[in-house]
Structure formats: structure tokens, C-alpha cells
Chain A
Amino acid sequence: MAAPAPPLRVAVFWLAVTWIVATPALDHLMGLRWRWVRGWHMYASVGHGVCDVTYYHGDTPIDRNQVLHGGPWWAIDPWRRRVEKAQLGEVGAHLCRELDLTDVRADAWCAGGQRWNQVQDRSENLCEPAPRPRRRR
């Protein structure tokens, strides 16, 4: 029979096992988002807010990649062709200027945590400047 392991080794082993296995449980199972605890939420937030958007002039869809970047979608760098929620209005206004249009609308679905949410339904004319928020006195 082998000699018993040194007590320090046993202690270090169980300490490490507890840290490795149990501390993520605080995050994943108990929802405790303490900074020193590491949960393994890999890639869980990548792409939040990215949108699947089509811009329209009347009922005619606009090829935004062609207009803004001078080529079909597959010829444009991926980071340039994606549109995020915060950019929807800006890209629409850009299209208005480039095409010299007065009415451009968007049908946009943006990624949330659980599903695609519709955030533009062609009801807003993106060529009109957004109303400024009123100043509070």
C-alpha cells in the first residue's frame, strides 16, 4: 500500500478542486456575479445589438453596401457591412445624403439577449432630422 500523501498536498488539491469546480457554480447556479468569481459565459454577449436591416425608398429596397461602400455585400469587409442598433439612424441619414433622397425608411430587427426584436418598421423617415430632446428648465 502506498504511503499516505503529505497533508499539504491533500489540502492544496482539495482547495484547487473546490475553486475550479465550485466557484463558477456561484455565478451559473446562484446568479452571484461577484468580480472575483469566474463564470464561463463565453461569447454570450457577442453580437448584442447587431441588426438585420433593409432600407427602403418607397417600396424599393436600397442596397446599402453598394451605395455606402461601393460593392456587393460579399465584397465588403464584414466589420464594415454590419449595422448596429445605435447606427440605424446614422446609416439611414447617410443613404439620404448619398442618394439625394428625402424619404428613406428602415425595416430593422436587432439582436437582444433572447431573440430578434423589431426596432424599425418603416414608420420613421430617416431623412428627417430626429427632433431634439426638449431642454428642461
Chain B
Amino acid sequence: MNELLTREASTRSSALIRFGIVLLLWNRFAAEMAPFMTTQPGRLALGASFFCSSVLVLLGLRTQLAALWLGATMVVTVYGFGVYGPMEPWRHHHAWVLAAASVLLALTPCGHSLSVDRWLAVRRARQAGRAPPPERAPVWGLTLIALQVSAVYLWSAVDKATLSFVTGFELERILVYLYTGFRPALPAQLLMVAACATVVLEVLLPIGLFFRRLQPWLVPTGIVLHAVFYVLLPVGPFSLTMVLLYLAYLDPDEVHAEIDALLGSD
């Protein structure tokens, strides 16, 4: 456990998650946070907090503090205005996952790479005639993000472990609602296979993704699963968020090396 909490690794995957989360947050919330949407002082203040903190996080300026600020803003968004307020869509699962990821982002060294903070640190080192500081820091926050993704899958699998789901009834209900308007939406056997495959994947992914040997198989499988959800169901940014957070399962040093290889700088 101590090893997990003290292990230092590349901070680039945290930085990539940082970019992705801010862009997804803007995609989901920016329009509703804008000042032209409300005259309520609380919502206006929330919007100001959202835009200021998220811009700082995206740029990577005072990143750790800004990420904490953004995480707190998202907690207020989801709980204060969604769960205990009038903004019902803000309590949906896609909003909640994004908010959770924002909070956990503050526990990662997400500003140590690809950021203004990094640029300033490198400049300071150069001016002092020292080597640039390494892009390394404790990465235990990534484990928490991975755990959050796994928890979503596992509890979702528990929720689906019912006769009505595995027999295909619930899938057919969704297909009738969104697509056909009549039964059978698909052959019964196909519905049952699709339903069972969904449950099996939702058990396999959250455990298997932690194992490096299984990642070359499970990461593409999970991405395909979410791509199908994204195209066929109105899941909002949920699929994209989950795929982005897969970065938390990967070895940060390998991600670093792959980026170097991509840029031809290895």
C-alpha cells in the first residue's frame, strides 16, 4: 500500500486526462453555466467559478489549486444545484462521473506536464543553469480514478444482474422506445446474447483493466463498447468520459514513452 501511495511516475497521462476533462466539462456544462442563461446570483456565481477554474486547469496555471477549485465547483454543481436543486439533468450519471473525475483530478499531479506551470518550471531551471525538473510525481490519484471507473462498471453490472435484463427484456424496451416503436425490436436470442455480453463485459472490464497483460485486449473492447453506446443511445458525454479515464489504468511511464515515440523524441 505504501508503494502505491508513494510511487512516482510520469505525469503526462494525468495531464492528458486534465485536458480531456475540461473539454468534456465545457461540452456538457458551459452552455448552461453561461451568464445569458440565468439571472440568479447563485447560478451566476457558479458559472463564474466554473469558467475561471476550468480555464486555469486547461492552461495548467497554478494547476493543483485550480483543480481543487474546479473539483469543489463540480461538487456544488452536482449536489447543490442537481441533487438538492432544480437542475435535474445535473444529477444524471454522466454529470456525476464527470464531477467525480474532476474531484479526483485534483489528487493527481496533472499540472506537472504540458502546462504553463511546467513551462515556468523549465524556464526557471534554465535561467538558474539547472536541468529541467523531471516530469515525475506520485500518481496515486490515477489509481483512484481507475477505481472510480471500475466501480461504475461493477455496480452497473450488479444493477443489471436481474432476470429482466439478462433475458433481453430491458434492452428490447430501450430499442422499442428509441428506435422501432414495436416488438420484436430484434430476435429474442440476439437480445439475450447482447444483454449477457453487456453484463459479462461490465464484470470483466473493471477487474481486467488493472492487469497490464489484459489491457491490449480490454482497452479496445471497452472503447468499442462505449462507441456503440455513444452512437446508439443518448448517453451524453458518459462514453467519452469513461474512455478518457482509461488512461488512468495505463502505466504512466509507458504513456510517456509512447508520446515521446509519437513525437519522435525518444
Contact = CB atoms under 8 A, between A and B. Distances in A.
Given A2-B6, A40-B93, A78-B181, A28 B155 contact: yes
Contacts of B144: 13, 16-17, 20
A82 to B, nearest CB: 4
Contacts of B2: 2, 4-5
A134 interface: no
Contacts, number: 110
Interface stretch (B46-54, B119-127, B129-137, B170-178): B170-178
Given A20-B147, A35-B84, A78-B179, A44 B173 contact: no
A46 B181 CA distance: 14
Nearest to B233: A43
A114 interface: yes
B266 interface: no
Contact of B158 (A21, A28, A50, A115): A28
B29 interface: no
B173 A111 contact: yes
B181 A82 contact: yes
A50 B177 contact: yes
A21 B147 contact: yes
A10 to B, nearest CB: 6
Interface residues of A, number: 43
Interface string B154-185: 01101100011000011001101111111100
A40 B104 contact: no
Interface in B192-243: 233, 238
B83 A16 contact: no
Contact of B6 (A3, A47, A65, A111): A3
A109 interface: yes
A50 B177 CA distance: 6
Contacts of A109: 183
Interface of A: 2-5, 9-10, 12-13, 16-17, 20-21, 24-25, 28-29, 35-36, 38-44, 46-48, 50, 52-53, 65, 73, 78, 81-83, 109, 111, 113-116
